[in-house]
Amino acid sequence: MLSATLFGQECEHLIWHDEFRGNALDTDKWDFDIGTGNNGWGNNELQYYTNSNQNVLVEDGLLKIRALNQSFGGSNYTSSRIVTRGKFAFSSGRIEAKMKLPSGQGIWPAFWMLPEEWKYGIWPSSGEIDIVELLGQEPNKVYGTLHYGPYYPNNQMTGANYTIGSPNFADDFHVFSLEWTESIMKWSVDGVEYNSISKNDINWEFWPFNQDMHMLLNVAVGGNWPGPPNGSTTFPAEMQVEYIRVFQTLSELIIDGRETVIEGAATSYKVAPLSSTTFNWTVPAGASILSGQGSNEISVLWGNQGGTIEVETDKCCCMQIASRQVEVKEMNCEANILNANGDDELYWIRKDGDFDENIVVPNPNSVNNSSLCHRYTRNPGAQYDVLNFVTELIDNAAQFESGTLLFELDVYTAASPGTEILIQLEEHEAALGSFPAGRHSVYKAVTQQQNQWHSLVFSYDWSPDTTTPDNAINHLLFLFAPNSNNNSQFYIDNFRVRDTTCN
């Protein structure tokens, strides 16, 4: 372990490692993904992942993952994919691995990371970090990449590659590193930085890499990117790993929690639970710490203004301060959370139809005389057409059920008066399961006028899953004209939350 230095200087600690010194994989640190996944793990890959010691073993101080040309479970190839999911996840640090990567047409080794909780939605909206990937037909080139953005096919990626001479990545061991802080990622090979991506570099509204993620190691066979193996491919194709180490400095700690809240909300903020560390939190004026002072996680009650949350950490005489800016949306009886004129606090990640943002308002009137609005066109092939947003603003959904808080929306549509629009609040990870899991509550309004801007007030309809906690909402869905098959258009603006207790 590296030694500590004092008072604000770098103070790096080894927080997790595997040196692969035993004679079997350490199942206190690793688990297995088994099978072929959905559609070849989403990439049309050809292998069946097993936990067999033919495919994954530890010997001679090395982890070895082997892709074999053998039939199993309906696949013509086997390999292994190991994960730290449920055993170790983290949200910042320096990851370092010494590896030799296999070569051959159609061979695809990777060391990468996925979210532990998928807090912003399914892939890729919650993010994917590829520490190193290699296409076996190019054994002297590796890739470092971030995946993010809305759901497929609107997903996005940013990355770079690094090419080496002799010996290539299949002929010798090389050290692959990722430095991960709150706002930037840096990739290196043997100490040479070749890729750097910051928050400002990605073409998306928010940066999902502020949450705990776990590590994965695998050797895939085939898939959309490398293509299938051919007669030149040699099996077994073996990835060898000498060590993986994760370091963290106190200066790299990320405060995990909501960046935008509504006045009066109570929300939690946390940093990694480092051992032998003291935590001293401060919050902006008007906010108060409800619980957790002295620990790695606090609950904060917000007043009517935002500011900076800070935590001073002290570990082994090394002191640092981590901070996070939080914006408070003042109610003032209502808070506008989605409009086309600069107040969007929702981020769309999935749409069955077409969502056109920031277009000219048709026929403005006294209800909506803004210059811009959004337009949604239903997909007639989707009976329950969905427009899905990530949200951090709903800290207590019970207030909407009781009618203390109401959703309101300005709408312009050619659809017949009486057309239903639903709002559904979800805890997304649970909602990945079958209906009604994770669907907290549904709110309904019906259009009143045709081809004229008018305001709708949504009233509580029902609770599909009463076990979803009131404070777990992270997705908000619109269902326009549900249980129908048409291509109606809905212009929307000024989606807001109103407090009915205001005078």
- The set of catalytic residues is 128, 133
* SS3 state at 430: helix
Q: CA triplet 153, 149, 175: central angle to 5 degrees?
A: 105
Contact 121, 211 (CB under 8 A): no
Q: Show the tokens assigned to 381.
A: 């092939």
Q: In what order do the strands lie in the sheet with 307-315?
A: 260-262, 318-329, 307-315, 277-282
How far apart are alpha carbons 442 and 486 in whole angstroms? 22
* SS3 state at 244: strand
Q: How many angstroms separate the Cα of 61 from the Cα of each of 25, 98, 172?
A: 11, 12, 16
Contact 359, 373 (CB under 8 A): yes
Tokens 């999902």 identify what position? 208
* SS3 state at 412: strand
How far apart are alpha carbons 418 and 456 in whole angstroms? 11
Residue 124: asked if its preceding bond is cis (omega within 30°), the reply is: yes
Q: Using alpha carbons, select from 20, 147, 25, 16 the residue that is nearest to residue 89.
A: 16
Q: Which residues does residue 244 pair with via DSSP β-bridges, in sequence order?
A: 18, 97
How far apart are alpha carbons 432 and 430 in whole angstroms? 5
